[in-house]
Amino acid sequence: MEIINTSGRRKTSVARIYVTAGQGNITINGKDIKAYFPNEVLQTIVNQPFQTLDLIGKYDVTANLKGGGVSGQAEALRLAIAKALVVENAESKSALRKEGFITRDPRMVERKKFGRRKARRSFQFSKR
């Protein structure tokens, strides 16, 4: 198996990954996954596509993550890994789609409007 290159996005995070056959090492921005995502929940999110297809420990992932916060980055990485597994084996697409790992989550933060405190929240109304 050669190197598979895919990308995933979520909110403002972008994950660019390289997947090769290996022992299951996940390296993110030069760090191990346990150092980059100390939170167990985020590590689980990243490994979900592998768990769904029972492929834990079969592939090495090298990732570049940019932008956003930790949970957005974890979900961007999950999408990228799912896309890479589909490139490797097209039959796995239906199982991953059923879990919702193939769909890019389109929700983004709405921009702030002028004359308002936030996107939709108005300033406090003062009667007098």
The string of pLDDT tens digits covering residues 76-94 is 999 999 999 999 888 889 9
Tell me the domain boundaries of the chain. 4-99
Instruction: Give the confidence band of 126 by pLDDT, cuts at 50, 70, 90.
Output: very high
Instruction: Give the confidence band of 128 by pLDDT, cuts at 50, 70, 90.
Output: confident
- 47-66 tens-digit pLDDT: 998 888 888 888 999 999 99
Instruction: Give the confidence band of 35 by pLDDT, cuts at 50, 70, 90.
Output: very high
Per-residue pLDDT, 24? 86
Pick the CATH number of 4-99 from 3.40.50.300, 3.90.1150.10, 3.30.230.10, 3.30.565.10: 3.30.230.10
Q: Token match 């996954």: residue?
A: 33
Angle at 80 between CA 79 and CA 81, to 5 degrees: 90
Average pLDDT of span 3-27:
92
Per-residue pLDDT, 115? 94
Per-residue pLDDT, 72? 92
Average pLDDT of span 96-122:
93
Instruction: Say if residue 32's pLDDT is above 80.
Output: yes
Q: Could you tell me the end-to-end alpha-carbon distance of the chain, in angstroms, rounded to an integer?
A: 72
Per-residue pLDDT, 1? 66
| Contact (Cβ atoms closer than 8 angstroms) between residue 65 and residue 77 | yes
Comparing C-alpha atoms, which of 20, 41, 37 is closest to residue 28? 37
> CB count, 10 Å around CB of 50?
20
Q: Mean pLDDT over all residues of the chain?
A: 91
